[in-house]
Amino acid sequence: MAFKQLVAAISIALSLSAAQGAAVKEKRATCSNGATVGDESCCAWFDVLDDIQQNLFQGAQCGAEAHESIRLVFHDSIAISPAMEAQGQFGGGGADGSIIIFDTIETAFHPNIGLDEIVNLQKPFIAKHGVTPGDFIAFAGAVALSNCPGTPQMNFFTGRAPATQAAPDGLVPEPFHTVDQLIARVNDAGQFDELELVWMLSAHSVAASNDVDPTIQGLPFDSTPGIFDSQFFVETQLRGTAFPGSGGNQGEVESPLPGEMRLQTDHTLARDSRTACEWQSFVNNQSKLLSDFQFIFLALTQLGQDPTVMTDCSDVIPISKPAPNNTPGFSFFPAGKTMADVEQACAETPFPSLSTLPGPETSVTRITPPPGA
């Protein structure tokens, strides 16, 4: 574990120096709206920002369109395989926008089910603003996250050329994959380790199901899907119970709260000896959650790209509102749940002691899917 944390720290240091290398070449500029940015080419993104906040995210909401835009970042970028390239096959281009450019192929891949909706919603903005699909996916994901209170400020770099080929099928993780499969996949895609795999799953803090179970759309993965917080890591550690409609579909297991969906992969990662302590580490530690997620989001959005020739336009990304209950590291048990419901799996550290929200047992409200879903 200590060795893996060291490796993660080294990869952070490498990524930061690459980002700094890019920043040195840039000239700061003032845009017509008065904002200062790292490079004058970034100014054009303020128009995109205003447009998507009004017309894609319905007034800067952390709703279904934001959730699916965040999901689209992962499903575009993770589709890269140096292992396939080493065997002489095309292994996908990573964060290259291929999921939009070749959408009829890629949104038909099983793990990408339901993403055709957000692809169709995003396409007109790409055409209108003349940006590349790869850059737009990264931008929309970063802006979507900023709409969810509690999110760290996301980095956004431009410079992704349009994909020339569809990614091959089989590279996007599925909710029924084993921990071995997940670790092998992220390791191939970006030399990520099992700790960084857990960091990626922090995105499920602001997420809801889309077609995992085609009969029930929009079931959140934690009780606070509109807030970027550690509740996802608390609630995935609680014992699951049978509710009407819970579990039973491929990749879906029983959840602790009515109306909440738990993916099988989240359940197993929370309990596997390789990942359980990292999973638990986010409980009551919002600052660790923020810094690890900020790092992994940038790394994902640069997969298959050369960061040293990209332009840092992070200044365009809004700063999110603080999470409510904004005491440092605020985590809690949902109403009706206590330490007795925790299936603690980390052998090294006890589960943090948390207070229980007052009131009747929590049930989770469905998120209304985007129009046409």
Ligand X SMILES: *[C@@H]1O[C@H](CO)[C@@H](O)[C@H](O)[C@H]1NC(C)=O
- CA distances to 33, 110, 222, 355 from 332, in Å: 41, 35, 12, 5
Contacts to ligand X from residues 91-130, by CB under 6 A: none
Residue selected from 77, 255, 285, 305 as contacting ligand X according to rule CB under 6 A:
285
4 lines the binding site for ligand X (CB under 6 A): no
The one-letter code for the residue type at 341 is D
- CA distances to 15, 16, 145, 210, 322 from 294, in Å: 12, 12, 11, 24, 15
Any binding-site annotation on 193? no
* Residue whose C-beta lies closest to ligand X: 288
Any binding-site annotation on 224? yes
288 lines the binding site for ligand X (CB under 6 A): yes
366 lines the binding site for ligand X (CB under 6 A): no
Distance CA 267, CA 226 (A): 21
What's the angle, vertex CA 114, arms to CA 110 and CA 120, rounded to 5? 120
Any binding-site annotation on 114? no
Q: Which is nearer to ligand X, 199 or 221 (CB)?
A: 199
Distance CA 276, CA 280 (A): 6
Q: Verify whether residue 75 is a known catalytic residue.
A: yes
Q: Which is nearer to ligand X, 39 or 194 (CB)?
A: 194
Any binding-site annotation on 311? no
Q: Which residues contact 87 (CB under 8 A, 6 or more apart)?
A: none
Q: Which is nearer to ligand X, 205 or 285 (CB)?
A: 285
Distance CA 295, CA 233 (A): 18
Any binding-site annotation on 98? yes
Residue selected from 247, 251, 258, 329 as contacting ligand X according to rule CB under 6 A:
329
In whole angstroms, the minimum distance from the beta carbon of 290 to ligand X comes to 10
Tokens 């490498």, located at residue: 14
**Could you tell me which residues are annotated as the binding site for heme b?**
204
Site of interaction with ligand X (CB under 6 A): 285, 288, 329
**Could you tell me which residues are annotated as the binding site for Ca(2+)?**
76, 94, 96, 98, 205, 222, 224, 229
Catalytic residues: 75
